[in-house]
Structure 1
Amino acid sequence: MFTGIIEAVGEISQLHNNGSDIRLTVQCHDLDMTDVALGDSIATNGVCLTVVEFGDNYYCADVSQETIKYTGFSDYCTGAKVNLEKAMLPTSRFGGHIVSGHVDGVGHVTKIIDQQKYIEVWVHMPPEIRHYIAHKGSITVDGVSLTVNEITEDEFMLWLIPHTLEKTVISTYKVGTRVNLEVDVIARYLERLMQGGHGANNQAPQSDISMAFLAENGYLNRK
């Protein structure tokens, strides 16, 4: 599990095609590797990857064709910058939100507006995840835990402060840049609960959770 608080920015130094997958090597001079072991997870632009080889300032991971198909990894090349976060420890400060490292969809940047004290970034979201994204809710963009400040039918807007731009790859975004998106895991489980767990098996009981129940217990704003 991750928090979406980026620890370092790395650089892809090698991409080796093994036929069924790609062996990725990431240079990570600013990431503390002293507590990393084989099999550990490192979120790489929001994608949970397993370390199969590492040194003092690099690690290697195998990226499957399935991962490439459903993330922005199909656009990456040698020299590309990537956000890095090691899996959190039970004793870590929880600074962001619950991030699994499992990408739900790929969006793309539609507008970047300089507001002097912050940058306004608009992202087009895939239709299949729109209903999970809420105003003032959390979303992970290339592994960064961010707050949705405005939302339309097919786009959402983020406010990026200078610190975030300095410490992540978001400063390199341009109109058209494709980004990995992971929605809030609580939204996914809440939807499943409201559906009564249908899909897991044909014997799933009907859930007692309804919109009225959520409102009565303080989970929804009532006007």
Structure 2
Amino acid sequence: MFTGIIETLGKVEKLEKDGGNLNITIASDITSELKIDQSVAHNGVCLTAVAIDGDSYTVTAIEETLNKTNLDDLELGDTVNLERAMVLGARLDGHIVQGHVDQTAVCISVEEKDGSWIYSFEYDPKLNNVTIEKGSITVDGVSLTVVDSQKTSFSVAIIPYTHAHTRFHTYKAGTKVNLEFDVIGKYVARLLELRG
């Protein structure tokens, strides 16, 4: 379980295919605090640390994960948003984030607004995910509030701190991102669907 509050950025040092899996080695300033078998969210995707070597650690993304996220698009030198699992009893500064990506989206515009930014994203509606204005959404692991909700798109407003300390400063039109929709909203939508 995560909060969507990014701790730090990691840098992709090595990518190694292993059958349908991808072993991803990340250099990070939190590596010294990690243990083997610990969960870490990478662009919002919960992955398990399987090896640690100095300032770097390795995680494995299976084929299912690669098919549903932007991790298969990673290249050497890319940055990733990192968050360790939340500590029970600590403040929940973002919202409840499972680290289970629902689908990807594409950035369709970036608009600077005198010290902040409006990012708009478009996603495939066939998976029946929805946003609501002032509701929560996770973009590449970042807990955000929806500003403008449409049937196939939404916008979020980004403050300077988030812009500087996450991957948001690298996004442009065409950038593919991971989305995790609000878990409570997903359960409500499913219950309504079952009631017909």
Shift in Å, 1:32: 5.9
CA gap of 1:160–1:188, structure 2 versus 1, over 3 A, is same
Q: Deviations over 1:130-174 (max 9, x none)?
A: 642111100000000000001223211110010001110110001
Shift in Å, 1:129: 4.8
Aligned residue for 2:172? Answer: 174
Contact 1:33 1:55 in 2 (8 A): no
CA gap of 1:32–1:65, structure 2 versus 1, over 3 A, is closer
Contact 2:3 2:95 in 1 (8 A): yes
Aligned residue for 2:26? Answer: 26
More strand by share: 2
Contact 1:113 1:119 in 2 (8 A): yes
In the alignment, which of 182, 192, 195 is matched to residue 194 of structure 1? 192
Contact 2:125 2:151 in 1 (8 A): no
1:10 maps onto 2:33 in alignment? no
Q: Which has the higher contact order (CA 8 A, sep 6+)?
A: 2
Contact 2:3 2:92 in 1 (8 A): yes
List alignment gaps of at least 5 residues for structure 1. 197-205, 208-223
Q: What is the alpha-carbon distance in structure 1 between the residues aligned to residue 136 and residue 126 of structure 2?
A: 17
Contact 1:113 1:121 in 2 (8 A): yes
CA gap of 1:152–1:191, structure 2 versus 1, over 3 A, is closer
Shift in Å, 1:73: 1.3
SS at match of 1:147: strand
Over 4 Å off, 4+ runs: none
Shift in Å, 1:191: 2.1
Contact 2:130 2:151 in 1 (8 A): no
The within-5 A match list for 1:63-212 is 63-129=61-127, 131-196=129-194
Q: Deviations over 1:157-212 (max 9, x none)?
A: 1100100011101100011000000000001111233344xxxxxxxxx69xxxxx
Contact 1:130 1:154 in 2 (8 A): no
The residue type paired with residue 21 of structure 1 is: N
**Higher gyration radius (CA):** 1
List alignment gaps of at least 5 residues for structure 2. none
Q: What is the alpha-carbon distance in structure 2 between the residues aligned to residue 180 and residue 20 of structure 1?
A: 20
SS at match of 1:24: strand
Q: Deviations over 1:46-75 (max 9, x none)?
A: 000011012452210111111111111121
Q: What is the alpha-carbon distance in structure 1 between the residues aligned to residue 113 and residue 92 of structure 2?
A: 29
Aligned residue for 1:220? Answer: none
SS at match of 1:15: strand
Contact 2:131 2:150 in 1 (8 A): no
Aligned residue for 2:38? Answer: 40
The residue type paired with residue 102 of structure 1 is: H
Once superposed, what is the RMSD of the aligned Cα atoms? 1.6
The residue type paired with residue 114 of structure 2 is: Q
Q: Count matched residues.
A: 196
